[in-house]
Chains A and B, each alone.
Chain A
Amino acid sequence: MTQVATVFFVGRFQPESFLEFIRHRAERLSLAAAVHSAGPNCIEVSVAGDEELLDAFELACSLGPIDCLVLDHHRVSTAEAPERVGEYRSGP
């Protein structure tokens, strides 16, 4: 079942590197993803897809690229589809 959620990552980021990782992972899992905000300590991203795939997305991103460190992460279900979904849309 398709779900829409916002995932928050807190930690120490090279935002460009983390966003590239997010894009790569969303594409691999065929998820639609849109980044809401990206700073050195917090990254917020909307994703839509099957719950299992959202789990896999959050899990992989919780480790992330080698130059970023995620200290905490959580996911909130949202009713809205990701805005600016076109930006990082992938899959069918």
Chain B
Amino acid sequence: MTKTTDIVALDEWYAIAVMADVGGNPIRTRLLGQDIIYGRGPNDRVSVHEVDASGRPGAALPTRERYNCLWTSLGAPRHEIFRLAEAEEKDRRVVVCGWIKMRTSGLRLVENFLDMAHFPYIHPNILGAEPHTEVPQYASEIRRDVDEVWATNCQFYQPQIVANGPGGMVQLTYRVPSPFVVMLYRVCPSSPDRLDVIMMFIQPIEEDLCRALPVMYLIDDRSSQIDLLNFEQVIFLQDRIIVENQRPLLLPLEPRSETPTRADLSSVVFRRWLKEKGLRFGTAEGGRDLV
């Protein structure tokens, strides 16, 4: 496909690479249907360029280095990349997992990340376990002052809160700071007055193809790096199976053939927010005019 014409999608920031992977050899990837190339030039300067029709580097794109990643935009972002206060705490352990490519809309992935109801079925004995299948009532809202979606007061029974740890009710807060970034704050098992942060950065490649990078800022000096990486890897590979089998692959903004219940509140609020923003890329209504 070719570069999207969706201004709302174009004007967002996207994580496109882990900083450690940005070197002297230019690497080609794709964002919103547009081929781009990134690398480190003389003086260690990082740059991202569109690749023009002849295959040569074209326009230089804006860049940022944030949260161990290289970010760029194909448009003119109207705000900076979201701020994560926890990332400024010196004692945090940063865990950058690997990219996972999925044949689905990046928005479906956000929706899946927000959904607690699937834990016992898709991540049995890790993030959930039967018979603890009920999603207790939670709140979800569009915060218009910051233009983000938040879900608060979320709780769920998890049999294994951290790698090889014991189970219990976890307290979760979800945050969607931009359409292709989603994160959760989880009361930290080892220091209950602090929150672990698990983020997922999504690079929308095409309408129905994306890759996702989990990045965690944890309070955890016990787990081994490999255990933490394996834990996330197992979870995201389980999620890949369900998101790739959802139909349609694109996210419907109109719940015509679905029957959402209270547990789906976050998903409904997220879709309402996308509709309000006028985002079309990755939605089932992409070809139709929005309000």
Q: A68-B291, A69-B276 are in contact. Are A59 and B285 (CB under 8 A)?
A: no
How far, in whole Å, are A63 and B268 apart by their CA atoms in the complex?
6
- Does A83 make an interface contact (CB < 8 A)? no
Comparing B101-109, B116-124, B193-201, B255-263, the segment that makes contact with chain A is B255-263
Q: A52, A60, A68: which contacts B255 (Cβ < 8 A)?
A: A60
Q: A59, A66, A70: which contacts B262 (Cβ < 8 A)?
A: A59
- Shortest distance between the CB of A24 and any CB in chain B (Å): 8
Q: A12, A62, A66: which contacts B288 (Cβ < 8 A)?
A: A66
- Does B61 make an interface contact (CB < 8 A)? no
B285 adjacent to A66 (CB under 8 Å): yes
| Interface membership of chain A positions 33-73, coded 1 if the CB is closer than 8 angstroms to chain B and 0 otherwise | 00000000000000000001001100110111111111100
- Does B220 make an interface contact (CB < 8 A)? no
B253 adjacent to A66 (CB under 8 Å): yes
Q: A67-B291, A68-B291, A69-B291 are in contact. Are A62 and B272 (CB under 8 A)?
A: yes
A71 adjacent to B285 (CB under 8 Å): no
- Does B27 make an interface contact (CB < 8 A)? no
A67 partner residues in chain B, CB cutoff 8 A: 289, 291
A63 partner residues in chain B, CB cutoff 8 A: 253-255, 260, 268, 271-272, 275
With CB as the reference atom, state the residue of chain B lying closest to A61: B255
A56 partner residues in chain B, CB cutoff 8 A: 259-262
B265 partner residues in chain A, CB cutoff 8 A: 59
List residues 263-286 of chain B with CB under 8 A from any CB of chain A.
264-265, 268, 271-272, 275-276, 285
Interface size on A, residues (CB 8 A): 19
- Does B290 make an interface contact (CB < 8 A)? yes
B272 adjacent to A55 (CB under 8 Å): no
B272 partner residues in chain A, CB cutoff 8 A: 62-63, 69-70
- Does A84 make an interface contact (CB < 8 A)? no
B253 partner residues in chain A, CB cutoff 8 A: 63, 66
Known interface pairs A55-B262, A60-B258, A62-B268; 20 further A-B residue pairs with C-beta atoms within 8 A, sorted by A's residue number: A24-B256, A28-B259, A52-B262, A56-B259, A56-B260, A59-B260, A59-B264, A59-B265, A63-B253, A63-B260, A63-B272, A63-B275, A66-B253, A66-B288, A66-B291, A67-B291, A68-B291, A69-B276, A70-B272, A71-B276
What are 8 A-to-B residue pairs whose CB atoms are below 8 Å?
A24-B256, A28-B259, A60-B268, A62-B268, A63-B255, A65-B256, A66-B253, A66-B288
How far, in whole Å, are A63 and B291 apart by their CA atoms in the complex?
13
- Shortest distance between the CB of A48 and any CB in chain B (Å): 18
How far, in whole Å, are A65 and B285 apart by their CA atoms in the complex?
11
B262 partner residues in chain A, CB cutoff 8 A: 52, 55-56, 59
- Shortest distance between the CB of B234 and any CB in chain A (Å): 32
B256 partner residues in chain A, CB cutoff 8 A: 24, 65
Q: A55-B262, A60-B259 are in contact. Are A12 and B268 (CB under 8 A)?
A: no
B254 partner residues in chain A, CB cutoff 8 A: 63-66
How far, in whole Å, are A55 and B260 apart by their CA atoms in the complex?
9
A28 partner residues in chain B, CB cutoff 8 A: 259
B264 adjacent to A12 (CB under 8 Å): no
With CB as the reference atom, state the residue of chain B lying closest to A64: B254
B260 adjacent to A69 (CB under 8 Å): no
How far, in whole Å, are A66 and B250 apart by their CA atoms in the complex?
15
